[in-house]
Amino acid sequence: MKIIRALTSLGTAVAFIALPIAAQQPSSLQEDRQVVIPARPSWERVPTPETVNVPLTGQQKQLRQNRSDSFNHRLGLAAKLEDTAQAGGGVGATTDHGFIPPLPVNSPAIIVGKVISAQSHLSSDHTTIYTELKVQIEKILQDTSANLVSHGSLDILETGGAVTLNGKILHYPVSNSSGLVDVGKRYVLFLHTKPPGLDAFGITKAWLLDQGHPQPTRAYRPSDQENVGRYMAMTEPEFISHVEQAIADHNIR
């Protein structure tokens, strides 16, 4: 009995010592789950008044209706955001997607541009919030969609944003998977086309052009730092030239 008690006490002591050590040295699985997430866009939490960019013509109203309908819940089962609102407002959830290459040069449209405005809206069924981002085009690097105009503008539709409804602020988080782009900043944007009737694009990948160097706007794991650092070390002209060369190499295959 004394031996058993001694072993029990020893086991307790060993466990007591081991726990702090384990806490200081996370497992490789825990380390792998850690990701570096860039700054969140301002329009994710700050609602834009619905009085901004109100559709005036019948064509504009139809476009807004089409876009709001496109973000409805597919199965029609989700609750309205205002019905799930807590004291601080409603909140939804987004799902991040799988791996996207650093330079998806097979994108229908690739541009250098500046985000000049953001306007958030509720989907027609009030289950989602989406945001219309207006982008001023500086340079077209690729346009297989044939929808872009040099030095013109384009609209991007992103899930997420904030709106005010009946005195409550409703929030819906932006996905980390495409890129966290914000108003007033310049980017190299890899875009995919939205379905007909929406007259807009979605973001496949975005690189922020900041202080003369590209910066990732999508969450990435520390293990990807080597690949990310390769582009971050380039100057802006070097990076844009590298993207143009990658596009040319892809198109001649």
Mean pLDDT to the nearest integer, 149-176? 89
Domain count, the chain: 1
pLDDT digits (tens, 9 = 90+) for 26-56: 323 334 445 566 778 889 888 876 666 677 7
pLDDT at 102 over 60: yes
In a domain, 219, yes or no: yes
Burial 205-243 (b: 16+ CB within 10 A, else e): bbbbbeeebbbbbbbbeeeeeeebeebeebebeebbeeb
pLDDT of 243 strictly over 80: yes
pLDDT confidence of residue 92: 57
Residue 5 lies in a domain: no
Q: Is residue 217 assigned to a domain? A: yes
Mean pLDDT (whole number) for 167-173: 87
Tell me whether residue 205 is in a domain: yes
3-state secondary structure of 86: strand
Distance CA 122, CA 139 (A): 32
> What CA–CA distance (Å, rounded) separates 44 from 130?
10
Whether residue 204 is contained in a domain is answered as yes
Mean of pLDDT values over 86-113: 74
% helix, strand, coil for the chain, step of 5:
30, 30, 40
Q: What is the pLDDT of residues 197-214, one digit of tens each?
A: 999 999 999 999 999 999
Band the pLDDT of 9: cuts 50, 70, 90: very low
In a domain, 17, yes or no: no
Residue 15: is its pLDDT beyond 90?
no
Residue 183 lies in a domain: yes
pLDDT at res. 86: 56
Domain that holds residue 125: 38-251
Residue pointed to by tokens 């209706």: 65
Indicate the average pLDDT of the chain: 80
| CATH code of the domain in which 209 resides | 2.40.50.120
Decide which of 16 and 217 is more confident.
Answer: 217
Residue 14 located in a structural domain? no
